[in-house]
A and B are shown apart, each in its own frame.
With several copies, the nearest count.
Chain A
Amino acid sequence: MKAIIHINLKPGVLDPQGRTIARSLTHLGFDGVTAARQGKTIELDLKGEDKDAAETQVKDMCEKLLANTVIENYRIEIVE
Chain B
Amino acid sequence: MNAKTNITPKIVAEHGLSQSEYELICERLGRQPNINELGIFSVMWSEHCSYKSSRRHLGKLLTKGKRVIQGPGENAGVIDIDDGDVIIFKMESHNHPSYIEPYQGAATGVGGIMRDVFTMGARPIANMNALRFGDPAHPKTKTLVAGVVQGIGGYGNCVGVPTVGGETNFDAGYNGNILVNAMCVGLARADKVFYSAAKGVGNPVFYVGSKTGRDGIHGATMASAEFDDDSDAKRPTVQVGDPFTEKLLIEACLELMATDAIIAIQDMGAAGLTSSAIEMADKGGVGIHMNLDKVPQREPDMTPYEMMLSESQERMLMVLKPGKEHIAIEIFEKWDLDVAEVGKTTDTGRLVLTHKKKKVCDIPIAPLADDAPNLDRPYTSPIKREILKHDPMFDPNERGSSYNAVLKTLLSCPDIASKRWIWEQYDRTVMGDTVDSSQSGGDAAIVRIHGTNKAIAITTDCTPRYCSADPYEGGKQAVAETWRNLTCTGAQPIAITDCLNFGNPERPEIMGQFVYALKGMDEACRALEYPIVSGNVSLYNETNGQAIPPTPAIGGIGLISDLQRHAEISGAKDGDTLILIGETKGWMGASLYAQAILGLNREDSTVYAPPPVDLHLEKINGDYVRRLILDRRIRAVHDLSDGGLALAALEMAFTNDMGVTLNNGPDMPLYAWLFGEDQGRYLLCVDEYSVNPVVSTAQTLGISAKVVGKIGGDRVSAHGGFDLSLRGAHMVYESWLPEYMAS
Contacts and interface: CB of A to CB of B under 8 A. Distances in A.
Interface of A: 9, 12-16, 20, 23, 68, 70-71
Nearest to A15: B240
Contacts of A70: 100-101, 235, 238
B725 to A, nearest CB: 33
Nearest to A12: B214
B101 A14 contact: no
A15 B245 CA distance: 12
A16 B312 CA distance: 12
A12 B299 contact: yes
B240 A16 contact: yes
A16 B104 contact: no
Q: Which of A14, A15, A16, A20 has the most CB of B within 10 A?
A: A14
Contacts of A12: 213-215, 237, 299
Given A20-B244, A70-B235, A14 B312 contact: yes
B105 to A, nearest CB: 10
B298 interface: yes
A13 B244 contact: no
B242 interface: yes
Given A12-B214, A12-B299, A14-B313, 5 more contacts: A9-B240, A13-B237, A14-B215, A14-B239, A71-B104
A71 B235 CA distance: 10
Q: Which 5 A-B pairs have the closest CB atoms?
A: A16-B242, A14-B240, A70-B101, A12-B214, A70-B238
Given A12-B213, A14-B215, A14-B312, A71 B336 contact: no
Contacts of B313: 14
A15 B242 CA distance: 9
16 contacts: A9-B240, A12-B214, A13-B215, A13-B238, A13-B240, A14-B215, A14-B239, A14-B242, A14-B298, A14-B312, A16-B242, A68-B103, A70-B100, A70-B238, A71-B101, A71-B238
Interface string B319-360: 000000000000000001000000000000000000000000
Interface residues of B, number: 21
Contacts of A14: 210, 213, 215, 239-240, 242, 298, 312-313
Nearest to B105: A70
Nearest to A11: B299
Q: Which of B100, B242, B313 has the most CB of A within 10 A?
A: B242
Dominant SS at the B interface?
Answer: loop
Given A12-B299, A14-B213, A71 B244 contact: no
A12 B214 CA distance: 7
Nearest to A65: B143
A59 to B, nearest CB: 18
Contacts of A71: 101, 104, 238, 240
A59 B236 CA distance: 23
Nearest to B237: A12
A20 B237 CA distance: 22
A20 to B, nearest CB: 7
Nearest to A13: B240
B303 to A, nearest CB: 14
A28 to B, nearest CB: 11
A55 B210 CA distance: 32
Interface in B82-110: 100-101, 103-104
A13 B310 CA distance: 12
Interface string B284-313: 000000000000001100000000000011
A52 to B, nearest CB: 27
A13 B298 CA distance: 10
Contacts of B242: 14, 16
A37 to B, nearest CB: 13
B101 A16 contact: no
Contact of A16 (B215, B237, B245, B299): B245
A38 to B, nearest CB: 12
A14 B103 CA distance: 14
Contacts of B238: 13, 70-71
A23 B215 CA distance: 22
A52 B237 CA distance: 32
A54 B501 CA distance: 45
Given A12-B213, A14-B213, A16-B240, A68 B101 contact: yes
A15 B103 CA distance: 15
B507 to A, nearest CB: 29
Nearest to B299: A12
Contacts of B240: 9, 13-16, 71
Contacts of A13: 215, 237-238, 240
B740 to A, nearest CB: 14
Nearest to A14: B240
B144 to A, nearest CB: 13
Interface in B223-269: 235, 237-240, 242, 244-245
Contacts of A9: 240
Contacts of B298: 14
B151 to A, nearest CB: 12
A16 B313 CA distance: 11
Contacts of B244: 16, 20
A9 B215 CA distance: 13
